[in-house]
Structure 1
Amino acid sequence: MTDQSDPDDTRCPGPGLRLLPWVTPAGNPCYLSTDDSGSYLSRKADEMEAEQMREGAAVLADAEEVLDDPTAGPLTLRVTLEQATRALGDALRIATSRGGRLPLPDDPDADG
């Protein structure tokens, strides 16, 4: 597992590295270097991503209820937006991680 210095840089730095769904205590992204998708840390990351997606679905349902309530006050709206922002960040991190593990497409110009 490696620790990168820029917390805003969640791009996978190279093949074979997986962006993990957690950060260091300093808030920096963590990467896992392994060829074994069934390793202990890979399974823990998969479980955490699944939990984050379930939480995101629950936050979306709550946000829809709040938006449908014309009496929702500023505090309720603010808390809902904070939760939605966190859930969206988690979903984008998961998408970045999964996208970084997709095989690269073949270069169409390589054959021609």
Structure 2
Amino acid sequence: MVTAKLRLLPWPGPAGQPAYLMTDDGDSYLSQLADEMEEVQLEMGSELLDHAAEMFEDAKTNPLEFRFLSARLCEALRDARRVAESRGGRLAALGVDVEPDKRRTSGNGTTR
């Protein structure tokens, strides 16, 4: 009996819709490519955050540069959200509880 699972891919389909991979082999070529793409997307987002911090410190940064930065940050956040949804879906398929903790934490990390 085949137990294929759906995996949300880290790139959209042709019309911008979510794209899924149905496979029972988590080590397939396409699965590995998706893993690599997720890592690239997350690393690019991290580098973009570092670049943003530098831009905010530079008084010469103009509004057009901030607008461009905002667009790239939105793309990076969209990518990170898709990666989180994909990884959360895979954890849920394994029976891991992926519901966020309902407790609130204060700014210093302590639970209230």
Structure 2 length as normaliser, TM-score? 0.76
Q: Whose RCO is larger (CA < 8 A, sep 6+)?
A: 1
Q: Which residue of 2 aligns with 1:50?
A: 39
Q: Which residue of 1 aligns with 2:105?
A: none
Alpha-carbon separation, structure 2, partners of 1:105 and 1:59: 31
Task: Give the ranges of 4+ consecutive aligned residues of structure 1 lying more than 3 Å apart after TM superposition.
Answer: none
Alpha-carbon separation, structure 1, partners of 2:78 and 2:24: 26
Alpha-carbon deviation of 1:58? Answer: 1.1
More strand by share: 1
Q: For structure 2, which runs of at least 5 residues remain unmatched after alignment?
A: 98-112
1:97 match: secondary structure: helix
Q: Which residue of 2 aligns with 1:73?
A: 62
Counterpart of 2:33 in structure 1: which amino acid?
A: K
1:39 alignment partner, one of 28, 33, 48: 28
Work out the number of aligned pairs and report it.
Answer: 92
The alignment-based identity, stated in percent, is: 50
Counterpart of 1:67 in structure 2: which amino acid?
A: F
1:97 alignment partner, one of 76, 86, 97: 86
1:101 match: secondary structure: helix
**Compared CA separation, residues 32 and 55, structure 1 to 2 (3 A):** same
Alpha-carbon separation, structure 1, partners of 2:96 and 2:35: 24
Alpha-carbon separation, structure 2, partners of 1:21 and 1:75: 29
Structure 1 length as normaliser, TM-score? 0.76
Counterpart of 1:85 in structure 2: which amino acid?
A: C
Q: CA RMSD in A?
A: 1.6
Alpha-carbon separation, structure 1, partners of 2:30 and 2:70: 31
Q: Which residue of 1 aligns with 2:103?
A: none
Alpha-carbon deviation of 1:69? Answer: 1.6
Alpha-carbon separation, structure 1, partners of 2:7 and 2:30: 10
Alpha-carbon separation, structure 1, partners of 2:23 and 2:79: 22
Alpha-carbon deviation of 1:24? Answer: 1.6
